[in-house]
Each structure stands twice: as C-alpha cells, then as structure tokens.
Structure 1
Amino acid sequence: MSTKAGQELHENVLRIDSRSQTWNGITVADVHEYTKGEVQHSLLNDEETGIAMALEEVGGVTEPRLKPGQACQLDHKPNHMTLVPRGMQLWGHATRGLHYSRYALIRFDLGTLEARFEEEFRPNAFARPRMRFTDTRIHSLVRMLIDIPQGEPSSTLLGDCLTSAMFAILSSETGEVPEATKLSQHNLERVIDFMQSELPRQIELRELAALVGMSQWHFARAFKAATNKSPYQWQLEKRTDLVRQLLLQSDAPLDVIATLAGFCDPMHLIRVFKKRTGETPGAWRRARR
C-alpha cells in the first residue's frame, strides 16, 4: 500500500493510502482519504479513461466535478460512480464535514481491452461522461476486486473474470446482460483437460477462452453455466484437492506444499484450505494419518 502525506497533498488532506492491481487492461485502485475540511483535487487526468466510485463517506459527502468550480447538478447517491473519457479531467470535491472517504479509481487501457474483447469492444460506451450513476452489479464486482490480496498470483483467473464482467456491463448499450449458454460437452472437456494438465500454473482467462474461440466474457459465463463454478472456483477446488493429496502422501512442510499447489505462501494456503474444508491443513493431516 502506498501512502501520500504532507506537501504533495491538498492542504486539507491529511493522508491518502492506496493500493492498485491490474487485470485485463483494467487497473483498480482502492483509495482511503483522510481530510479535515473542504477539499478539491484531481481524481483522473485527461490522459485517462476511468471511473471514480464512492465506497464510504464519513461526516459528509463527495461530489464529482468536471471543472473545479462547477458543482455537479445531480443528487448525491450512495456508491455513486462517474465515468470520464480520455480528454476530460475528473475532480473530486468533499464537503467541509467529511473526514474520511474510501473510493475506487478504475482506469481502462482501451487499447488492451480492444485487443482482448475484439468485436465486443464498444468504444462509444466510453466516449462520453456519465455523472453520479449507480449500478449494484458493478459496485459488487469492484468490492470483490479490491478484496483480492495484493500480489496474489493465484487470483489471476478471479481478477480476469470479475473485470470481464464489469467491462461487459459497461459496454452494453442497455445495461442488460443476455442469458448465458452452456459450453458444449466437447469444449468443456477440452478446457478441463487443459486446466488439469496445467495445474498449479496460474492460467489467464484469455487462454481458456482462446481454446474454444470465445470472448473472455462469454466463455466465463458459458463455463459457469456448464459447471456451476467459475473458472477460478474450479481451479481453486482442484488445487485444494492437490493439497489434500500432498498432505496425505508426504511429510512436506506447508511452505513446500503451498509452492507445489500454486499458493503464494503458507498463510494463503491455510486460509483457503480452512474456508473450503473447515479445518487447517495441519489438523486435517493429523486426523487422517
């Protein structure tokens, strides 16, 4: 997590803590801002296409502005979002009583997105500003994205799936997402064979989608329709099965098992294993040996 304080901030901003991660050409920053009075500063510059989303506001409210002295005419709503295209700057204004706010900054690399989504990429969806709109689906997806631990490579598929879903919603002209169709049995077997053979390597969603000639978004939904699991959940389940096997068949310590099963460290392994089995790896091993 990075922290800004002192001279590099607006005089009424005490501190800003932030961390960011990137999936699929979409960078999501989780920002915590501590203030002591009325504040106004830039959120997104004119070289970026992005969204600012309010997550928490304590003591007052935040307001998006396209110009520093021009108030937003739309009513405040919880978890409001503002999208600005490249060529426009977005300013954040905080009322005097606000002393803490948490918000997400979502930056889109449109070149990467166009290359990955091809015919599903609709640049017009990102060509005009949208002020103080809300969407519970996007809010939920962003919440899940910022909850992914920093630098956890095993969550590549999860981040890919969530950002693909967010991009599809934003790109839809109506905001509606059509019902998913299942992967054919042939394509499902092909994908599963590939995922199984690649364990525990962290696979990207675009690799799986390319196997069956589908876009990432359509593939993720078709896979879940066929298996009742997202690609990430399926992979996590198989990696947990691998941990069980290693616990039973070897005396290897947890740090070695974590590496062999594709977890970033023993604590990550313990957290995932306990959530899925109800026991720590050590307790599970002792009870069965």
Structure 2
Amino acid sequence: MSYWHSMIWRTEGIRVVTPAKWRQFDGLVSVFWEAESQSGATGYYLSDDPRIMIFFDDVSSRIRISNHDGEFAQHHRPMTRAIYVPAGVPMWTNSKSIRRFSHLNLHMHRDRLLRFLSPSVGTSAALTALRRPVEIQDIGAIETLADLLVDEISSPSKHAVYAESLVGSIVAGLLDIPENDGKAANGRLTQAQMNKLLSRIEARSDCRLTITEMAGAVGLSESWFATVFKQTTGKTPLQWQLGKRIGLAQKLLAESEMTVADIAARLGFSDQAHFTKAFRQLAGDTPAAWRRVRQPR
C-alpha cells in the first residue's frame, strides 16, 4: 500500500536538533525525531490516521498534553512514555521547562492496522481497539522493540518485513485489544465480557445502556452482540437490562423513602404508569404493594 500520512501540526518553541530519520513501509511511516523544547513551548497535532508516539526518556514532569482545545488549566495530564492516538483525535502539548528529548512516531493507515489485527482478534475487536486511546508510562519491552526499529530506520540492513514486524509487535503490545471477540466461545459471551457489561450498567444510576454501548463494551458489532447475548442469557439485551432496572427499583423501594414516581423518573421510565406495568410483569405486584409487604412498619 503506497502511503504517506496526512497530519496538521503547529509548534512554537520546539526545534529539531538533528535531521529526522524516517522510512516508508506498507501502509506505515516510521519517523525518529530528536528535538528540544523551550519553557512554555506549545504544539498542536491532528492526524487523519492512527498514530503512536514512544519517548526514549521520561518527559512526564515537563510536558503536558490535552485533548480539550489547548485548555491546560483544567484539562491536562502528563505526557507518558508511549501513547496511541486514534484517528481524528486532536492533541495539544505544553512544555514546562527546557528539555531535550527523542521520540519515535509511527503513522499507520487504518486499513493496514485492520489487516494486521483482524485475522487474530476479529474485525469487531480490531475496530474497538482502534477507537481506544492508550497512554502508558511503564513501556517495558515496547522500548526494546522501538530501539530495534530506530536502528533499522537509521541504518537499513534487512528486508522491510523485519521493520514491519517490529511495528506490528509494538501495536500488539500497546493497543487495548479486547480479550475475545465472542465467536471463539461457540457463540456465547465469555464471563469476562459479562462482567464488563455488569460493571458498565451498575455504574449508571438508571441501569440503562444503549445496544451500541453494550456491544462496544465487549468489542462486538450490534447484530452479532444481540445474537450471542440471547444465546448466553436466554434474554434479549433489553429484557436483561429491564431486569436490572427492576432489581434496582426493588432495592430503592425497600431501603429508601423515595416515592414510586421518583423511582420511576430515576430509572428512566416515561411515567409512573409505565414503571408500574413493567414492575408488575417482573415482580408480580405493583411497586406500592411490593413495598408495603417488605418495608418495616
């Protein structure tokens, strides 16, 4: 794949101290930079392609990053030693002091990454991984792989497949790839996937998630998720979710002084009548009657 990355970038107070070293591969561009930033230096970066930055020393105490329009007063965090930036995600940087640093940039065509990941993890899991930003400070073996890649960029000595395999190993080691795309478990969700769903839904005050959110949480397409969810639980996602909402309603009825109308509103029912109908279907009684039996006088 003939490829050159498309990127918008602006910097102030940052200078390159040695010529950049780079190589173009199949759907990949690898660039090694050595630069120096002044106190107060700034940068803005936006790419149409996914990219990875790996720093060869710790800059977390000196360089800050933000994804909120350069607003560093409230929205900032330290620059970690390795980051994965999904396509279309803007990034602003700010340097707190003079600092010389070196880093490796990997610019990758989305289709090239899908072609690399999909045979092993499935297309749904690969797409999910490409959408998830990653920032890590302890880069371990990734630094070793990056060192080898920089050596090959600087002084090419092997077939391009060697450098491309190093990039692939860095991608596999850094990206947040879902453990299982569901299909390997005979059309059923794994326990880890069900735990993720439970955690997500319990974190919502109304126990509500869209089908898109539920499918995304376990790295599946909506259509496949609906199929394997029914095979796993015996219920549709919405039936299962309604059961969780009614379970929370029972907890609130038994342990709080909230009115039935307030509970209905909190759990996202259109009105009290809608809540009462759903509650009766699952609990066998109206919310008020259920509360009278179970709440101490």
Over alpha carbons, which structure has the higher Rg? 2
Using structure 2 for the length normalisation, give the TM-score.
0.46
Using structure 1 for the length normalisation, give the TM-score.
0.48
